Structure 1
Amino acid sequence: MKVHVHLAYGYDPAVWGRKFDDGSLIGINERDPYGYRHAAPMVAVMTSSKDHAEGRLGRLIRLGARAILGFDLVHAWRNRAAICAADVVWTHTESQHLAISQMFKVKRLNQEARPKLLAQSVWLMDRWDRLSKVRRAYYRRLLRHADVLTFHSRENLTMARTRLPDAQSEHVLFGINASDKVAPVRDDAAGSKLIIAVGNDVHRDWSTLIKAVARHPDWRLRIVSTTCSKSLAAGVANVEIAGVGDNAGLRSLYRQSAIAIVPLLPNAHASGITALQEAALNGVATIATDVGGLRDYFDDTEVTYVESGSVTALETAIERLLANPALRYDRAVAAQARMGIEGLSSYAFAKRHVEISRRVLGGR
């Protein structure tokens, strides 16, 4: 089985590897983007998309086409030889698989002449109802070129099966590098009251979190984000919003923290799952908003879930965990036990792609 992994421009394994080596990738990562290379020993050949050199004009054309179409057709076109040489193509988001489907149409490749396509979507179903009728019809036609639609969340999967009932669709749990774990530490209620919240996703509900913490001057909240507006914490002395310079700084914050929180706005694509898994690997008990299908990954013995948009519910959950070190420890241990090659991990994520691909290819 020949597999081609087509990722977004900027995720060329050579470029990503250099960033990994120099420590500029913040968070838990690995030398290969998203860990798809774990599947290399399971298949005959694996190739990856390349970032072709582009000048100002080339970049302008690529980004302009992406803005108009909603996907990066130019990047897919530049990688067409490697794509068409594969038995099956894996994509990470709709920007890649819609582009490949359009490339198939431009080249007039029928089903027998093209590789199989595993079309993974992240935001498409969330945004579907906000798309124009014309764009929905266009994307629906492109989605017919996908052999399997995959989603990280059962909520997204349900949406897809309702909107695209003729398409084959699968649930694929996303996972990160789970090779390194920091064992949870028992502490006491008089210990750290530092709360950490990490993330840059547009679905973070920073406002609700800050309001909950602002009522308790003895709590300290450190938001690690480059997208959260500092104006949200204006006049709130116990909230700090800033990025971190390196992974050592991020690990240090996790070690100092009693709780990690993933506050979320309503969504259906498991927003925040990377942050939840990172907290689990760092041995920190977590609170998360109960949206997006996160219970597919962690149940309520592993993560404390709270109602969306409720300052009171979040405040109560924080108070409960800060006052109960045994509960914090038990939740952290249980969540971390979910992480590993047989549970949640980039290895399991890659292996699932192999399993689906073999089925689509008839066992090859």
Structure 2
Amino acid sequence: MSVVGPAGADSPLVVVALSHEHDVAAWRARHERGEVLDATPYGYERAGDRFRMAWTEPGAEGPLVARARRALAARLGFDVVHAWRNRALLRSADVIWTHTEREHLAVAALLGRGGPPVLAQSVWLWDAWPSMRPWRRRLVAALLRRHRVEAVHSAENLAASRAAVPGRRVQLVPFGSTALPRVAHRPAAADPPVVLAVGNDVDRDWPLLARAAAEVSEARFLVISGSRAARRAEWPGNVDRRARTSRAELVAAFSAASCAVVPLRPNLHASGTTSCIEALGAGRPLVVSRAGGIEAYVEGAARLVPPGELEPLVAGIRDALAGRLAGARPCEAEARGLGQGDYVERYVRITRWLLGGPWDSRISAFAPLTGARTP
């Protein structure tokens, strides 16, 4: 087991349960090459001054085993094989951190009620719940009841979770990520103006943005997404799509952009938060679909438009290009508690509670936490 962080040997051990696809060593190498913003997935290493930190590892597997593991994970909705391979590490933890239901349901299935307490964060679970078969709903509900707390990123997810599986502690935990540096202002009247759209989430409405780009033919659109939906969209000639970009290239893209747009389909999990935080940090005028509770993250700092409607989206983009939408004020994301340090601090405070401390109500507030750390 590789334990990372300056925390003392008597500090609690936090094990971060990542998906099989997230190899923390490979991620660190990508960070050193400038490909990703964070040193580890979601920046959880920031808690290393309070806790000893360790991460699950994917392990080697041949193609047939990989195919079988993925097939079982697809049927169950969580990867119990990956959890089983890390069972010794997971059992050694004082607290286990998870980022999605794919990890915390697997941990619950593997360790039962007798294992370490789990910070069970869900992302897509409640979007998928209505379409689940009855047997799978019963299984998920039973596994959720093994956790002391479930964390979600939006009020919509909060309401759906409490209604579907009542009698548990479910808490809103605002997401936060590394904000981009504020970039030099590019006049909205630049020729041609550039509209930037970034993201790989499954609930991006790329077909709607393609229609909007065709309407706003006087602008150039830069779409940075490698998702299947983005690849399949019928983009007009004024759209340039890139599958991925480095950290420096992303900063350059925001510097060249006149505005940013986050087109969303209806969802429950505040899809698009990372892209919104990046746009707020860069100070770009922002147009966002009002879906999934995203308004709690950007209300007053972005133009919110109805999801799926072309005309309001086009009007929002044109207002941004004409200078009728102001960019976010400096440090807007941090002022709303959306920095990565705030996000990790929320995890730290939930962990203190799991270890026997009091619950801090500020965990769920859209306000900074990093200025008043827990001991």
Same fold (TM over 0.5): yes
Partner-residue secondary structure (3-state), 2:270: coil
Indicate the residue corresponding to 1:69 in structure 2.
76
Shift of 1:340: 3.1
Unaligned stretches of 5+ residues in structure 2: 1-11, 359-375
Partner-residue secondary structure (3-state), 1:260: strand
Indicate the residue corresponding to 1:339 in structure 2.
333
Does the aligned pair in 1 maintain the 2:289–2:305 contact within 8 Å? Answer: yes
Indicate the residue corresponding to 1:98 in structure 2.
105
Does the aligned pair in 2 maintain the 1:233–1:240 contact within 8 Å? Answer: no
Partner-residue secondary structure (3-state), 1:297: helix
Shift of 1:73: 0.4
Shift of 1:223: 1.4
Percent identity reads 36
Partner-residue secondary structure (3-state), 2:105: helix
Indicate the residue corresponding to 1:22 in structure 2.
33
Q: 1:237 to 1:295 in 2, by over 3 A?
A: same
Does the aligned pair in 1 maintain the 2:196–2:253 contact within 8 Å? Answer: yes
> Map of 1:1-20 to 2, 5 A cutoff?
1-20=12-31
Q: 1:169 to 1:318 in 2, by over 3 A?
A: same
Q: 1:147 to 1:316 in 2, by over 3 A?
A: same
Structure of greater relative contact order (alpha carbons < 8 Å, 6+ residues apart): 1
Deviation larger for 34-43 or 53-62:
53-62
1:157-203 Cα offsets, whole Å, 9 max, x none, are: 1111111221111111111123x512452635355521011112221
Partner-residue secondary structure (3-state), 2:181: coil
Deviation larger for 336-345 or 151-160:
336-345
Indicate the residue corresponding to 2:92 in structure 1.
85
Partner-residue secondary structure (3-state), 2:53: strand
**For 2:331 and 2:145, how far apart are their aligned partners in 1?**
39
1:297-322 Cα offsets, whole Å, 9 max, x none, are: 121x2111101111110111112121
Unaligned stretches of 5+ residues in structure 1: 106-110
Does 1:315 find its partner at 2:322? no
Partner-residue secondary structure (3-state), 2:267: coil
Shift of 1:253: 2.0
Q: 1:215 to 1:149 in 2, by over 3 A?
A: same
**For 1:356 and 1:244, how far apart are their aligned partners in 2?**
34
Indicate the residue corresponding to 1:127 in structure 2.
128
Does the aligned pair in 2 maintain the 1:197–1:262 contact within 8 Å? Answer: yes
1:202-248 Cα offsets, whole Å, 9 max, x none, are: 211112222222123212212112224456335x2222223345333
Q: What TM-score do you get using the length of structure 2 for normalisation?
A: 0.86
**For 2:22 and 2:237, how far apart are their aligned partners in 1?**
39
Does the aligned pair in 1 maintain the 2:195–2:257 contact within 8 Å? Answer: yes
Q: 1:46 to 1:342 in 2, by over 3 A?
A: farther
> Map of 1:164-313 to 2, 5 A cutoff?
164-178=165-179, 181-183=181-183, 185=185, 187=187, 189=189, 192-227=192-227, 228-229=229-230, 232-233=233-234, 236-299=236-299, 301-313=300-312
Partner-residue secondary structure (3-state), 1:313: helix
1:125-156 Cα offsets, whole Å, 9 max, x none, are: 11101001111011111111111000011110
Indicate the residue corresponding to 1:108 in structure 2.
none
**For 1:7 and 1:341, how far apart are their aligned partners in 2?**
29
**For 1:138 and 1:126, how far apart are their aligned partners in 2?**
17
Q: 1:60 to 1:189 in 2, by over 3 A?
A: closer
Does 1:361 find its partner at 2:355? yes
Does the aligned pair in 1 maintain the 2:297–2:336 contact within 8 Å? Answer: no
Alignment-mate amino acid for residue 322 of structure 1: L
**For 1:243 and 1:317, how far apart are their aligned partners in 2?**
25
**For 1:33 and 1:348, how far apart are their aligned partners in 2?**
15
Q: 1:2 to 1:189 in 2, by over 3 A?
A: same
1:266-298 Cα offsets, whole Å, 9 max, x none, are: 001011111111222222221100001112212
Q: 1:312 to 1:352 in 2, by over 3 A?
A: same
Does the aligned pair in 2 maintain the 1:192–1:258 contact within 8 Å? Answer: no
Q: 1:232 to 1:83 in 2, by over 3 A?
A: closer
**For 2:276 and 2:35, how far apart are their aligned partners in 1?**
21
Does 1:36 find its partner at 2:44? yes
Alignment-mate amino acid for residue 18 of structure 1: A
> Map of 1:134-173 to 2, 5 A cutoff?
134-173=135-174
Does the aligned pair in 2 maintain the 1:88–1:116 contact within 8 Å? Answer: yes
Q: 1:184 to 1:248 in 2, by over 3 A?
A: closer
Does the aligned pair in 1 maintain the 2:183–2:251 contact within 8 Å? Answer: no
Does the aligned pair in 1 maintain the 2:186–2:258 contact within 8 Å? Answer: no
Alignment-mate amino acid for residue 238 of structure 2: N
Shift of 1:332: 2.3
Deviation larger for 250-259 or 16-25:
16-25
